[in-house]
Every structure is written in C-alpha cells, then in structure tokens.
C-alpha cells in the first residue's frame, strides 16, 4: 500500500518537538488562499474536522487532513511534508520557532494510484 502523505526526517523531528510542548497534534491543508495553501499544525482537536475533510494518513503520529476540494487536485500525488526556515501560517504551531511546514509532492505511477490508501 502506498501512503498518500509522508514526512521528511526534519519534519518528523519538528513534529516530535511540537508534541513535547503541546501534546498530540494534527495537520490540515485547506487549499484556500494565503495560509490555507500550507499544511497547518494544530493541537489535536483545536480544529473541528467536518464532512468536507479527507483523512490522508498520519505523519509522526499526527493525523493529516485535507479539504475535499483540495484533495481533488492532489489525489494523483503523494504529499511529502517537509520543513524550511521562515514564517508560515500564523496559527500553525511551528511558526514561533522560525520554521514552517511545506508540502512537496510527486505524481503516483498508474500502479501506485490503484494501491494508494
């Protein structure tokens, strides 16, 4: 089974750091303008997940959701969550650390499309 969302070692280390400080965390990528186009990290449960959100998987023990409209654009890709220096979304937990999560991607092969969760 091919995972829909993965994280780099740097992202996993940052997730662990955030979990140590804030407890369990979650991710959401809405696809809206500005901050919504970046993966946002929240304390688990701080963002209400609705019927319009798709659970893509987990990274570092944190659930990763995407709005279904955005998922339609990304359903043919594997998301790779990475970390870069700089300020990200103002509500995302990593922002105060001078880091931000970033979504990279790669297209699934035809075989992977049929074997992705």
| Rounded Cα gap, residues 84 and 82, in angstroms | 7
Alpha carbon distances (Å) from 42 to 1, 46, 107, 116:
27, 6, 27, 26
Confidence of residue 32 (pLDDT cuts 50, 70, 90): low
Confidence of residue 34 (pLDDT cuts 50, 70, 90): low
Residue 95 has pLDDT above 80, yes or no: yes
Higher pLDDT among residues 113 and 92, named by residue: 92
pLDDT of residue 54: 95
pLDDT of residue 91: 84
| Rounded Cα gap, residues 50 and 102, in angstroms | 23
pLDDT digits (tens, 9 = 90+) for 37-62: 689 999 999 999 999 999 999 999 99
Q: What percent of the chain has pLDDT over 70?
A: 91
Residue 15 has pLDDT above 80, yes or no: yes
């Amino acid at each position: 089974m091919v995972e829909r969302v993965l994280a780099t070692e740097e992202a996993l280390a940052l997730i662990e750091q955030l979990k140590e400080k804030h407890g369990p965390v979650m991710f959401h990528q809405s696809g809206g303008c500005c901050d919504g186009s970046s993966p946002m990290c929240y304390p688990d449960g701080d963002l209400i997940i609705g019927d319009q959100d798709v659970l893509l998987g987990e990274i570092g023990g944190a659930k990763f959701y995407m709005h279904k409209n955005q998922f339609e654009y990304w359903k043919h890709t594997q998301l790779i969550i990475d970390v870069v220096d700089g300020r990200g979304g103002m509500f995302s937990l990593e922002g105060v650390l001078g880091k931000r999560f970033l979504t990279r991607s790669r297209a699934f092969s035809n075989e992977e499309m049929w074997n992705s969760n």
